[in-house]
Amino acid sequence: MFTRRLSRIFRRDGRAFIVAFDHGLTEGPTKGMENPARALAAIVSGGADAILTSYGTARRFVQQLAPVGLILRLDSGTTTLGGMRPGGRFFSVEDALRLGADAVAVSAFPGTPDEEMSLRTLAAVVSEAHRWGLPVMGEMQPGGFNGGPEQRTAEAIAISARVAAELGADWVKVPYADGFDRVVNTCYVPAVMLGGAKTSDDLAMLETIKRAISAGAVGVAIGRNIFQADNPAAMTAAVAALVHKDATVDEALVILRPR
Q: Are 126 and 135 in contact (CB under 8 A)?
A: no
pLDDT 10s digits, 118-170: 999 999 999 999 999 999 999 999 988 777 777 889 999 999 999 999 999 99
Distances in whole angstroms, Cα of residue 182 to Cα of each of 99, 178, 211, 243:
37, 9, 13, 20
Domain that holds residue 9: 2-256
Cα atoms found within 13 Å of the Cα of residue 144, Cβ hemisphere only: 10
Residue in 244, 243, 249, 237 with CA at minimum distance from that of residue 42 = 237
- Between CA 143 and CA 146 the distance in angstroms is 7
Residue in 64, 245, 68, 51 with CA at minimum distance from that of residue 137 = 51
Give me the amino acid identity at 188. Y
Q: Using 50, 70 and 90 to split pLDDT, how confident is the model at 3? A: very high
pLDDT 10s digits, 83-131: 556 657 899 999 999 999 999 999 999 999 999 999 999 999 999 999 9
Distances in whole angstroms, Cα of residue 139 to Cα of each of 62, 152, 241:
24, 14, 24
Q: What is the pLDDT of residue 1?
A: 77
pLDDT 10s digits, 210-254: 999 999 999 999 999 999 999 999 999 999 999 999 999 999 999
Q: Residue 93: left if φ>0, alpha if ψ -120 to 50, beta else—which one?
A: alpha
pLDDT over 60 at 56, yes or no = yes
Residue in 39, 45, 1 with CA at minimum distance from that of residue 20 = 39
What residue spans of the chain are helical by DSSP H?
2-7, 24-27, 36-46, 55-60, 62-65, 93-98, 115-131, 154-166, 180-186, 202-214, 224-227, 232-244, 249-256
Q: At what angle do helices 202-214 and 249-256 cross, to 10 degrees?
A: 140
Q: How far apart are the first and last CA of the chain?
A: 44
**H or E, element range at 89:** strand 88-89
- Between CA 77 and CA 79 the distance in angstroms is 6
Confidence (pTM): 0.95
Mean pLDDT of the chain: 94
Q: What is the pLDDT of residue 88?
A: 76
**Residues 6 or more apart whose Cβ sits within 8 Å of residue 233:** 42, 43, 45, 46
Q: What is the pLDDT of residue 152?
A: 87
Q: What is the CATH number of the domain that holds 138?
A: 3.20.20.70
**Residues 6 or more apart whose Cβ sits within 8 Å of residue 236:** 17, 19, 42, 43, 45, 46, 47, 48, 226
Q: How many domains does the chain have?
A: 1
